[in-house]
Structures are given as structure tokens and as C-alpha cells.
Structure 1
Amino acid sequence: MEMLTSDALDRARSFVLRSGRRLERARFAHLVDGGSLEDVAGELTAFQVEGGGFGRALESDARTPAASVLATLTALDILRMHGAPGDHPLSAGACAWLVQHAQTNAADQVVWPFLPQEAQVAPHAPWWDQSEPGQLAETFNGFLANPGLAITAHLWRYAAAAPQQAADVGVDAVLLSPLAAQARAIADSGVAAEEVNAHDAAAHLVGEPAVPDAVRGELLAYLTEVLPQRIMRTEADFTTYGIHPLWVAPSPTHPLARVVGPQIEIALDHVIGTQQADGSWQPFWDWGGWFPQEWEVAAREWQGSLVVRNIAALKAWGRVGKPDADSAASP
């Protein structure tokens, strides 16, 4: 079994301290070095825009300063990963902002378009392009599974932690009931294999205990059926963008851990083996030549983000902490 050595962990720390955003420095410190959750939350506030929403290129592939569903969901994901309670002030504010920006589509479904139209003028990855009317909705299949399922999980989490506060801003049965029905409909109809992040969003919902068991169970059954054939399984798979085992099952306690167990071990070995000499990991995607100067900035930010995400997964799966052989042999 490959382990991330103490030297490799030190190199990851050095990269984040040298080249990461202040946010990733605080996240790494909280994850590894005893830093506080509030330090992470404090750095997140630099990305707040207005009314509890987030923007300012928090999600590095969309450089718009405007508040967006994409950035706000990213902030909620970060808070959850670092163990912030569902009613943490930043989480509560973000959920309230999402309620205010929910839309109803032509089929009377609740959806959250990822980006406002104004984001088009800022540098962005090609998959965030919306130069044509309806283009972004087409790219993300109407926003139903992604980001809908992940947002549904966060709203249930907030409602469970602070039911009255959540109800005061509209996170109650009027919203949660149709969202639960939509989640079950997605479990019934499925998502296309190429909708990579829709699988991540579904896995997020399956792993959120605040979501009703019936809803979680239906999505778990669906993912149990399709994931083993769809997730990354070989070294070649990890060189392109795909459904990453560690992103759908970030810890052994996740309900999908047993489903993707064999692939998890391959993924963990791959992560350890592909750490760069500078301590970072390279993103396994790029912007395909779009906005080359801005991509250099975004790629550097993603390196810091991937350090945090990979170290978190390696820690959760027990792959961090073994001393180097030379160190262990020293008197």
C-alpha cells in the first residue's frame, strides 16, 4: 500500500504557503496543522459579494467578480468539508441567497442557473460559455442534477441544523418537497454518463444524512448500479476529466465507499504517485487555449485547491503519516 510520506506532506504544505491563495493556506492549516475553522471562514469572506452570495472567482474556472450560484455552492462545499455546522453564519447566508435566486423553469421545476449572464464578459473556461441564449442550460442539462442535487443537500442540511431560521428565509416544505420529488425523478430517469459532475452532485446528496432516507436511498440504488462502470478505473482514465472515485466517496464512511472500493485504492495510489516535485498536483483539465494568461492564474489556484482536496482524501482513507524510509532508519 502506497503512503504519502511526511516529506511529501511537507512539500504540499510548502507549495500552499508559497503559491496558494490565503484561503487554501487556511484550509491546509485546518486540515493538517491544527488551524481553526474560523480562519477558513474568515478567508472565505473575502469572496462574499452581497446578500450572502459569493463570487470573485472563488471557483477558479469562472473569473467573474459577480455573485453566482457556482461560487456560492463552492463556498458551501468548502464549509461542509471543513466541518462547519449547517447553521454556520456563512452557510446560512449562502442558503438564504440561493433561495432568493432560485428559478422555476418551463416544467415548473426549481433550478439554479450556475452563472449570471454578466459572467460572460469575464475570462472563463469553455464549459462556462454562454455566448448563445440558453447555451449554459443546454451544457448542464437544465441545471436539474448539477447543481440542483448538491444545492438540495445543502438546503436540507441547513434546515436540519436550524429549522426555524431556515423556514424564515424560505427553506421549508414549500421548497424542500418539490426538490425531494425532483431528486427522486432524477434517480428514476438517471443522468448521462458524460454529465461528470452530476454524479458528484448525486453522491453529495447521498452522503448528506439530513436528506430524507427515501430520497437518499433511491439515488444510492441508482449510483450503485452505474458508478462501477462509469468512474475512473485505469491510469489512462486519470489523465482526462472524468468521475473521480475520491470525489464521489471522499471518506470510508460515505455510503458509496463500498460501491467503488476497488477503484478507490487505484485512485489513492494514483494521487500519491502524481504529486509534483513542488508538492502540488496539476489539474487534469484545462481551458483548451481559451484566455491563456488567465488560465495560468486559474491553474495555479487549482493546484492549491487540489492539494487541500487530495490531502483530505488521503487522510480520510488512512494514506498519510508514514515516515520516510530514511527518516525511520535514522537513530
Structure 2
Amino acid sequence: MSADFRTAEKFLQAEGRLLERRLFGVLFRDEAPQGVVEVLRGYRNADGGFGHGLEPDKRCPASLPVDVEVAFQALAAIGSPELLGPACDFLSSVSKNGAVPLAFPVIEDHPRAAHWTDWTYEPGVNPTAGLAGLLYRLGFEHPWRDAATAYLWETIESENLPDETHGLNEVLTFLAYVPDRARANRAAPAVVARLTASPLFQAMPKPGEYGLTPLAVAPLADSPWRALFDDSQLDAHLNQLAAAQQQDGGWPIPWEPPSQASLLEWRGIVTLQALRTLTSYGRITPTAHGMA
């Protein structure tokens, strides 16, 4: 089954938040990247960080490292270094030996998904590795990036990595873009082995179940870790991804967000990512603007 690009675009236009609509415009309609930057400004706080539910599973206005990571992901998608400096200053202010947590107890004063509890308050590779990796991808230097890198190498090379699937995937983001390629390539096999052995990793599709798949590790055809998976694995997951498109044009999510607004925001996020993945792997062809 193939997915339909135009109905996905209509879903984003009808239900997606402004950030995903502007990202869609940059990625598929040759629109100026500055529109994405201006949307992200609306999620910024005076401390330079990002909040206000930029990651939709918690509706907290305060700056949180996980929201900073979502901002970095958007900026990496358009190749823009804007807003990074103050955000890194914020990360420095909340880090412990270079590591930052996903969130802080302030989220408890606001609606949030059930899985956002005290485990998210501990500094660790999730999200530190993803944040540092995105800064390397964007070529942005900052003292916090250096401190995070030192923490990450010590953690990775001491084999003190967590078994948590998302954290291991974050480490692969760091290893994909850190400049010391020889060191990264030496470290990657152990991280990959632990990731693929995780109960949440789906080597083959498990429709409707929550978990990470090879397409989370290699979301684009030119992803650094695509070669970790054989074509039959990738084809199976690409087939499942295409088949998962809903009648309204969007993609579903397999977890319970804290509100209907959060649900639609997440569906916009995963719909845009599905389009990026399927077009990158040649499974869907973008239609011209306005085509039926």
C-alpha cells in the first residue's frame, strides 16, 4: 500500500500546528527557512530556552531541555544556526557535569502525559547526546557542547550506557555527527547492539505497538546509520509506515497524550516525519502545490 502525499498535506493544513506547516513549506515547497525560525521564537523564554509545549506531551511554559531539543531538530531540518547561542547558555545553566535532564519538576503543575514523571528529572544521555549531536550537525560551537561531549565520551567509553531505548538512539545521534569519526565508529557497534537488543526495539514491524524501529535510527535514506539494517528490514518498515496513513491523511500515534490539542500536534509531527521518510526512501513522490 502506498501513502498519499496530497491528503497528508491537507491534514497538515487542517490540523497541524504552525511549526509543522512552516517546516513542510521549507522542505517541500521551497519556502524561506526564516518562517520556521520566527515560529520557534514564539516558544522561547527570557532564559534563552524553549518551552510552552514545543514537545507536546507536557503543556508546561517553562524552558525544558527536551523542548530545546525539538527546537534544535527543527533548526537542523532547515540548516539554520539562529537561536542556538542563547539556548546553549540555558543548557549550561541547568547542566551537571555537562549532562542535562529531559525536564524538571515544574511540569507537575501542568497537564502532561502519564510517562512524564520523576525519571525525566535525572541528567543523562537522553537528551544530552541528541542535543550535542545536533549542534555538531549544525556546526555550532559552544562551551556547553564541549562539556557535554566530554561527559558523553566518558559515559560511552566506560560502557556505562543505559538500556533505555530512546537514550541509546540519542547516543547514535551524537556518534553520527561528532567530528572524531574514528572514535565514533569504534563506539557505535556496542551502542547498536544494546539498542537492537532492547525490548522496545522493533526489528520487524509490530503495527499499533509503541517502540523504536530502524526508521527511527535511519529516518532518511542518507542517514549515517542506514547501513546497520538490511534492505528487507527497511522495506518491511517502509511498507508498514505507508500503510499506517489514516483516512484523514495523517498518521496515528501509539500513546496517550495529555489532551486533544496534544494529540493533533503529535499527529502533525509524525505526519511530517512520515512524509520526509517516505519521500527520502523513494516510496512517495511530492505533488505540486494545489494538485488534487
Q: TM-score, normalised by structure 1?
A: 0.78
Equivalent residue pairs, number: 285
1:320 maps to 284
2:125 maps to 145
Q: Give the distance between the partners of 2:221 and 2:152, measured in 1 at CA.
A: 28
Match of residue 162, structure 2, among 176, 191, 198: 191
Q: Is the 8 A contact 2:279 2:286 kept in 1?
A: no
Unaligned runs of at least 5 residues, structure 2: none
Unaligned runs of at least 5 residues, structure 1: 105-109, 288-293
Matched, 1:65 2:65: no
Q: How does 1:156-305 map to 2 (within 5 A)?
A: 156-157=136-137, 161-163=139-141, 166=142, 170-171=143-144, 173=146, 176-185=149-158, 188-192=159-163, 195-208=164-177, 210-230=178-198, 231-235=201-205, 237-261=206-230, 262-287=232-257, 294-305=258-269
Q: Is the 8 A contact 1:76 1:94 kept in 2?
A: no
Deviates more, 1:60-69 or 1:220-229: 220-229
Q: Is the 8 A contact 1:27 1:40 kept in 2?
A: yes
Q: Give the distance between the partners of 1:319 and 1:258, measured in 2 at CA.
A: 18
Q: How does 1:86-97 map to 2 (within 5 A)?
A: 88-97=81-90
CA distance 1:90–1:100, change in 2 (3 Å): same
1:37-63, CA deviations, whole angstroms, 9 ceiling, x for partnerless residues?
111111111111123210000000011
CA distance 1:115–1:265, change in 2 (3 Å): same
Q: Is the 8 A contact 2:57 2:262 kept in 1?
A: yes
CA offset at residue 201 of structure 1?
Answer: 0.5
Give the partner amino acid of 2:269. S
Give the partner amino acid of 2:12. V
CA RMSD, Structure 1 to Structure 2 (Å)? 2.4
CA offset at residue 173 of structure 1?
Answer: 4.8
Q: Larger Rg: 1 or 2?
A: 1
2:36 maps to 40
Q: Give the distance between the partners of 2:13 and 2:271, measured in 1 at CA.
A: 11
Q: Give the distance between the partners of 2:234 and 2:166, measured in 1 at CA.
A: 18
CA offset at residue 22 of structure 1?
Answer: 0.8
Q: Is the 8 A contact 1:199 1:248 kept in 2?
A: no
Q: Is the 8 A contact 2:28 2:286 kept in 1?
A: no
Matched, 1:101 2:85: no
Q: Give the distance between the partners of 1:276 and 1:264, measured in 2 at CA.
A: 21
**Secondary structure of the equivalent of 1:232?**
coil
Q: Percent identity?
A: 22
Give the partner amino acid of 1:127. H
